[in-house]
């Protein structure tokens, strides 16, 4: 794995998410397209999973690593949802929606799992078996 190339992909990906979020805020996509936050949480989970892989400088994939990655994405996703709930209580004061929160965490985790699969297929070098 070329760490510099991998980091470049992660940075370009986060800027793409930021641009998409900017457009969504400017054109009110979050309120006019009821499901728009679902792909955004999925993309956030992908970005977070790839960032964790880069930060941990992974050389091989193991079950323990997959568990740590999913746990990391879960913890950060739950913390993000707590932040959203607190912010929502102080700004819009709309009622708590547990179904939306569960859905957001599910899409965060789905994105994290996709990041693992992407890393295995596209980023991690293929080892040749020389006998």
- Residues 55-80 pLDDT 10s: 888 777 888 888 999 999 999 999 99
pLDDT in tens, 19-66: 999 999 999 999 999 999 999 999 999 999 999 989 888 777 888 888
Report pTM: 0.88
Query: 131 in a domain, yes or no?
Result: no
Domain span at 24: 3-123
Query: 128 in a domain, yes or no?
Result: no
Query: 129 in a domain, yes or no?
Result: no
User: Domain total for the chain?
Assistant: 1
**b/e per residue 89-125 (b: at least 16 CB within 10 A):** eeeeeeeeeeeebeebbebbbbbbbbbbebbeeebbe
Question: Which region holds residue 78: left if phi is over 0, alpha if psi is between -120 and 50, else beta?
Answer: alpha
pLDDT in tens, 88-116: 888 877 777 889 999 999 999 999 999 99
């Amino acid at each position: 794995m070329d760490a510099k190339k991998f980091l470049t992909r992660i940075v370009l990906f986060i800027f793409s998410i930021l641009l998409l979020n900017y457009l969504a805020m400017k054109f009110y996509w979050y309120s006019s397209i009821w499901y728009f936050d679902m792909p955004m949480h999925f993309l956030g989970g992908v970005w977070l999973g790839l960032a964790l892989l880069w930060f941990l400088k992974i050389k091989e994939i193991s079950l323990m690593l997959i568990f740590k990655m999913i746990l990391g994405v879960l913890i950060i996703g739950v913390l993000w949802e707590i932040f959203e709930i607190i912010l929502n209580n102080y700004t819009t004061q709309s009622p708590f929606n547990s179904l939306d929160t569960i859905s957001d965490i599910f899409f965060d985790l789905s994105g994290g799992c996709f990041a693992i699969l992407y890393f295995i297929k596209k980023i991690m070098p293929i080892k040749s078996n020389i006998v």
